[in-house]
Structure 1
Amino acid sequence: MRPGEPHLRAGGNWLAGDDWARVWREFTTSAFRLETLPEYRVAGEDGLLERFRSGLPMPSGFNSAWHERLRSYRSSGRVVQRVRVVTRPPTDYQRSQFEWGYPGNSSAGEDIRVLDQDDDVVRELPAQDFWLFDDRVVVLMHYQDGLQIGRELLADTDPANYVRYKESALAHSTPFHRYLRRESGSLVRTDEDGRTAT
């Protein structure tokens, strides 16, 4: 168990610590994430949302460890993709993702796309977050009030349905930067000159 993960379920098909790290080490082509919750509570990030709401600048080096990993995956030819389902209106947490989180992730190589919650295709997707690795390894992400409580490896599940979910979500979603240009008024704070306020 890694520091900061004592609340996660472990054992059996529950992935934590080295078991979860191994999935990331061993995927060879693609990692896909469907992200559906209006807000996530992440261990070690207490106070970040309040900082964002207060209009303070993004912390120096924010998400830098993840960016290093993304660059490593990209340099080895592996693809990391994420489709984010966004509510109308977006939550403060979602706005913080669009302003602080996703730009750096995208620059580091993550392919991020967006679906509006009221898009027809969303009704055809599972309501539960998941990761799909190499179109064959499915990991359900379990949350309670936005706090991750477990990562469940679906060892005996045919991944075909999840591959279809992935393909549908990617086909119907809008690339992050295009979505940001279209919806910037509701997602990103700007100063009086229209520049992004970070």
Structure 2
Amino acid sequence: MATAVRQALINARRSAVHLEMRDIYTPGDPDFADWRAGVRFDPAERWRSWFDLVVSTVSRGVRMRRARIISEPVSEYIRYEYDVTGRHNVAAGEEVRWLPRRRAADLALPGADFWLIDEQVVIFDHFDGDGNWNPATDMEIRTDPDTVGLAASAFESVWERALPHAQYRPR
């Protein structure tokens, strides 16, 4: 977890939304490797600091929502994310929805994943083509009203169409 996102969540007062649009992230992640090898783990234990941050943020009254735009059939990585989402993100207090990419084709979306905090700060995450991310160089923070408005509008349009985690089944 990047320091900027962690600090933004600590300071959030009303809302924190996250839009994810890739089919793979950090393919060399050891947790993903364990999952691929059949090792089922408790994400709340492995990722305790994130879990605690979400619980703390939500308990202050901040609404945390995450939307994922995904290709179908889903990638192996998205199956992994789906498997741990209920036991981790949802259990900590995040609301999570899934939107098949074909249902997002007519939406105006930014070119990168992002966090939007209190509809005032956008934190873009820039990944390379293989899904790798460098926290030292691949984050961009924007506060200009046009970018904030684009991010807010994009997220809400995805959220309206997406299925809640409990209703979505990967294909």
TM-score computed with the length of structure 2 as normaliser: 0.85
SS at match of 2:115: strand
**2:161 aligned residue:** 172
Q: Distance in 2 between matches of 1:129 and 1:139?
A: 8
CA contact (8 A) 1:39 1:91 kept: yes
**1:20–1:172 distance in 2 versus 1, CA, 3 Å:** closer
> Contact conserved, 1:121 with 1:169, CA < 8 A, in 2?
no
Corresponding residue for residue 56 of structure 1 = 39
Alpha-carbon distance between aligned partners in 2 of 1:47 and 1:167, rounded to the nearest angstrom: 33
Q: Which runs of structure 2 are paired with 1:90-169 in the superposition (5 Å)?
A: 90-120=74-104, 123-144=107-128, 145-149=130-134, 150-158=138-146, 159-169=148-158
Work out whether residues 115 and 122 of structure 1, in 8 Å CA contact, stay in contact via their aligned partners in 2: no
CA distance in 2, matches of 1:27, 1:114: 24
RMSD: 2.2
Structure 2 letter corresponding to 1:100: V
Displacement after TM superposition at 1:178 (Å):
0.9
Distance 1:122 1:96, change over 3 A: farther
| Unaligned 5+ runs, structure 2 | none
Percent sequence identity is: 26
Partner of 1:79: 63
Partners of 1:24 and 1:109 in 2: CA distance: 13
Range that drifts further, 107-116 or 152-161: 152-161
Could you tell me which residue of structure 2 aligns to residue 34 of structure 1?
19
Deviation at 1:125, TM superposition (A): 2.1
The number of equivalent residue pairs is: 165
Greater mean deviation of Cα atoms: 50-59 or 127-136: 50-59
Taking a change above 3 Å as real, the CA distance of residues 137 and 175 of structure 1, as seen in their structure-2 partners, is: same
TM-score by length of 1: 0.74
SS of 2:102's equivalent? coil
What is the CA-CA distance between 1:40 and the residue it aligns to?
0.8
